Structure 1
Amino acid sequence: MSKADGTPQRLFSRGSFLESSRTAEILRAEATGGLLLIIAAAVALVWANSPWRDAYFDLRNTVVGFTPFDLHLDLSLGAWAADGLLAIFFFVAGLELKREFVAGDLRDPRRAALPVIAAVGGMAVPAVIFVLWNLGTDDLVGWAIPTATDIAFAVAILAVISTHLPSGLRTFLLTLAVVDDLLAITVIALFYTDHLDVPYLLLSLVPIAAFGFLAQRGVHRGWLLIPLAVVAWALVHESGVHATVAGVALAFTVPVRTSVSDSDRGLAEHLEHLIRPISAGFAVPVFAFFAAGVYVGGLDGLRAALTDQIALGIMCGLVLGKTIGIAGSTWLLSTFTRADLDEELSWVDVIGMSLLAGIGFTVSLLIGELAFGYGTREDDVAKVGVLVGSVCAGLLATIVLRARNRVYRRICELEQVDSDADGVPDVYQRGDDSP
């Protein structure tokens, strides 16, 4: 793997200044949402194990909605959070993914190779580990639970430990999470669809096409787009495909650019800036609040849950599987191609980022509910595995990344030097740093 001039491609090298600035802006927004997510999950976990836990479960199971035109939209608050609010999350992820591959650094196949290969490896190895733990049982359906990465939770950890992550690693983390989200929604659509009502699925294409028609013409009026999005979501929900798929499908219809100029901001970026705060600040924390509340049953119950094969498979998948999958695929890419690790970084940094990607909170909880059924014993055990595995991955990543913080601080200071005062740091104007 090399550049057009034949020189080796640098893994985790910084991209363009525009992309690095944009990545930093997104991660700042995700950090705030991630802190809210952690708070919401902690409140839910404490409440679900308090003397007032019945009130929490009654709230989560409260049914709200109606059934217009025979659509089953009378759902519990927990189901509304999983099916409805997470559709907003996946809509933003779809916008980000399309923008990255159309106008971002990932339009260059050489730069796209690392996060795509790492994301695939980071999903495959945890799945294999889970399967190995649960061979011979009926719980193999949960194989996809430890395959997801929660970018908001991961960035919140970075914000808490105050590490000065270089732009190359920041871009890799965000891109890895975006590709991971696409693979996760694909897995959900293909493997966690219990029944398929084809007429409803085909009918959902009508509002999706209408949404895309308006978006392609630059229409961004909420009173036109929101009703179409809601109808599309309802029809996909009724079809049997998980309703979050509608979010990604709608996002893919939105244009990235307004013209052939790379610098023009299209409707995708406009909607992303508008909706990301809603997703990170409300939709994901509310989902976490309803999903993370699991009654452990004291120390004995926690001990029993943590020794269950489901929980062990998830924990090992998140902590070991993600690290082996991401770091291992990166090493293979470096070993068998002409791609070299960026000279400013070491393999310790790759391991630290791989551990950080083992935080699989939001989507892992969602897949657990889809795999085992909402509120079942297996679902509760899976939630314990996700929570403990994510915390362990976060703690280990904190130790590794904090140990390298002095190096990161030096790189970040270098990335801010602007000797000619033209508004673009010097390191982004060197030929060897360009994508």
Structure 2
Amino acid sequence: MEADDTRRGKAAPSRFGRDPTAARGGENTAAALLLAFTVVAVVWANSPWADSYSEFWSTEVGLRIGDLHAEMSLKHLVNDGLMTFFFFIVGLEVKSQFTIGELTDRARAAVPVVAAIAGLIVPAVVFLAFNPSGDDARAWGVVISTDTAFLVGALAIIGPQCPARLRTFLLTLAVVDDVGALLAIAVFYSDHVRLVPLLIAAVLVAAIAAVRLLPAGQGPAYALLSVALWVALSMGGVHSTLAGVVVALLIPVFTPQRQRVEEAVEVIRAFRQSPNSEYARAATRSLRDSISINERLQTGFGSYVSFFVLPTFALANAGVHLDGETVAAAIRSPLTWGVVAGLVVGKFVGILAATALVRATGLGVLAPGLTLRRVAGGAALSGIGFTISLFIVDLAIDDPAKQDEARVGVLAASVLALAFGWVTFRVTDWLSPPVSVGMTLIREVDPDRDHLRGNPNAPLTLVEYGDFECPFCSRATGAIDEVREYFGPDRLRYVWRHLPQERVHPHALDAARASEAAALQGRFFEMSVRMFEFQDYLEWEHIYRYADGVGVDVARFDEDLHSPRVLHRVQDDAQDAELMDLGSTPTFFVNGRRHEGPWDAASLIRALEAPNQPDG
């Protein structure tokens, strides 16, 4: 999928740009694996072989070179070493989202960003209400972070109605949540700071930033300097895992550039005509260079982090000894209850209240179709704190008994948040059930947003969900022209919305984006007609020619193609279609009701003239 997207020049920012089915399947599997290793850790720590759990993770491992040597336990190797890769992937994700992803759209991003900030602050305040002073107060960081892997897995398990936009909202929120947690670790949980190693680290950071200027050998340079930075931060008293974040934020990210993609195509064409090792190496290099190193690293390391690093971390950290003494101490402990209340109550109240406030004040907007009730279920699930919560337990608390109490709180809060989320979704689905899914247009026509022909206030409305590569949509254009001529522009408004069928039409999404880029210059329908006319030729080289032919500024068109505004516009229509369970194109809505049966001109005219049709 990614190789094909690259060939067509498709902008596909990390989480939100991948094949949704494959991405969700991988996330759900990763969440299931994380849960399984958590259960194994708890069972192991409470089995007759419980002593072996502690002994194993306390095993010292080291490296000696002459008189120099370094040692650490297996648990510290996991927490300080392997988890650096986790924070590296988080940093790549953050950089990608702020540069080319959801967080570049300020109005759309404002709501989850503010909600995430409130979801960091309110849980900490709730925790401090239970632990206002003393050593336990330092553990407030345990409650600030949501576990993204468990969050998306829980959302899939619960299966609320119409989850698409909520999932995007929660993933955007999770990115900001991760940023806040990383800052908290850097500022509040780094001790014994040493100046000289940190100065060396600063020099290494500057060197890493300059690696992008190297004509070759960037990969080895990044690797060598990153290891040196990890050592410098560790010696400087700053938690070494932050090296992963720093390096990730310095790695460049960009959407595939047309020139590089075309150069790759030319090299591949040469290899196809004359296969040899020289062309093979050149083709591999050109394909690699057409995609940003940020995206390549996410693809290369992401699965290892999801399927190895995080399960290993869970196995090393979730082994709470749940004997009677530990459970009794946890039940009486303000630390445990502070963790539970902070995650379950604080996350829910903070995220939901902030979302309502931002929306009410107009500082941000929710995506079309996303309601406050739907956000409530996601806010409840956000109380599932695990990976970073358990990570901070070790940083914030020194007493092993207190650590167990905090871990009990994290595990209990995660279970309660899952149950709370399930109940919230079931109640909200019951309070606002969908009526005849797919039979009613869920989003009314908006003349300021929709692509519309005819009088915006016309009494009759015909909405089409279509695909520029669909031959049936192409044939339907003639019938639509007849219908528009029959009623005239004052009686009928015709609206086009996108439903790209990527599985069967590989160029459909590209064509939809091209139409939206043309629309920003007032040429939507002109571009649409041209692409329907030549729908067997929708490669990028053809699309740019069509754009030039309908009179758009090609340079601006090229820039707009890669803008989040264009991608979100297409995704909004496609997600509407998903909410209505639309699976084929063309699909018509006549005065707000789904049209069933033939869509020839005569049938559409009869449907539009039928009495008692609700207005769209």
TM range (shorter): 0.7 to 0.9
The structure-2 alpha-carbon separation of the partners of 1:342 and 1:172, relative to structure 1 and needing over 3 Å to count, comes to: closer
Identical aligned residues as a percent? 37
Mapped partners of 2:467, 2:312: distance in 1: 47
Deviation at 1:227, TM superposition (A): 3.1
The structure-2 alpha-carbon separation of the partners of 1:249 and 1:343, relative to structure 1 and needing over 3 Å to count, comes to: closer
CA contact (8 A) 2:11 2:256 kept: no
Mapped partners of 1:118, 1:336: distance in 2: 14
Does residue 271 of the first structure (1) align with residue 318 of the second (2)? no
The structure-2 alpha-carbon separation of the partners of 1:420 and 1:23, relative to structure 1 and needing over 3 Å to count, comes to: closer
CA contact (8 A) 2:336 2:405 kept: yes
Query: Of 462, 466, 475, which residue of structure 2 is paired with 1:419?
Result: 466
Query: Of 131, 138, 144, which residue of structure 2 is paired with 1:134?
Result: 131
> Aligned AA for 1:167?
A
Mapped partners of 1:356, 1:414: distance in 2: 29
Superposed CA offset, 1:301-332 (max 9, x none): 31331331001000001000000010011011
CA contact (8 A) 1:165 1:409 kept: no
Q: Which secondary structure does the structure 2 equivalent of 1:139 belong to?
A: helix
Q: Which secondary structure does the structure 2 equivalent of 1:174 belong to?
A: helix
CA contact (8 A) 2:108 2:365 kept: no
Q: Which residue matches 1:9?
A: none
Deviation at 1:288, TM superposition (A): 0.9
CA contact (8 A) 1:208 1:232 kept: yes
Does residue 320 of the first structure (1) align with residue 317 of the second (2)? no
Q: TM-score, normalised by structure 1?
A: 0.85
CA contact (8 A) 1:306 1:384 kept: no
Map 1:161-200 to 2 at 5 A. Answer: 161-163=158-160, 166-200=163-197
Does residue 54 of the first structure (1) align with residue 51 of the second (2)? yes
Deviation at 1:216, TM superposition (A): 5.2
CA contact (8 A) 1:236 1:246 kept: yes
Mapped partners of 1:123, 1:409: distance in 2: 39
Q: TM-score, normalised by structure 2?
A: 0.62
CA contact (8 A) 2:86 2:305 kept: yes
Q: Which residue matches 1:10?
A: none
Q: Which residue matches 1:360?
A: 385
Q: Which residue matches 1:382?
A: 406
The structure-2 alpha-carbon separation of the partners of 1:59 and 1:408, relative to structure 1 and needing over 3 Å to count, comes to: farther
Does residue 88 of the first structure (1) align with residue 85 of the second (2)? yes
Does residue 236 of the first structure (1) align with residue 228 of the second (2)? no
Q: Which residue matches 1:97?
A: 94
Q: Which secondary structure does the structure 1 equivalent of 2:135 belong to?
A: coil
Mapped partners of 1:211, 1:320: distance in 2: 41
> Aligned AA for 1:265?
I
User: Could you say which structure has the higher helix fraction?
Assistant: 1
Deviation at 1:350, TM superposition (A): 1.0
> Aligned AA for 1:246?
A
Query: Of 390, 397, 408, which residue of structure 1 is paired with 2:421?
Result: 397
Q: Which residue matches 2:33?
A: 36
The structure-2 alpha-carbon separation of the partners of 1:72 and 1:121, relative to structure 1 and needing over 3 Å to count, comes to: farther
Aligned residues: 416
Map 1:104-143 to 2 at 5 A. Answer: 104-143=101-140
Deviation at 1:176, TM superposition (A): 1.1
Superposed CA offset, 1:19-51 (max 9, x none): 644383544433222211111111001110111
Mapped partners of 1:195, 1:235: distance in 2: 13
Deviation at 1:154, TM superposition (A): 1.2
**5+ residue gaps, structure 1:** 1-15
Does residue 287 of the first structure (1) align with residue 313 of the second (2)? yes
Q: Which secondary structure does the structure 1 equivalent of 2:466 belong to?
A: coil
Mapped partners of 1:246, 1:74: distance in 2: 19
The structure-2 alpha-carbon separation of the partners of 1:409 and 1:321, relative to structure 1 and needing over 3 Å to count, comes to: farther
Mapped partners of 1:243, 1:407: distance in 2: 49
- Computed over aligned residues only, the root mean square deviation of the Cα atoms, in angstroms, reads 3.3
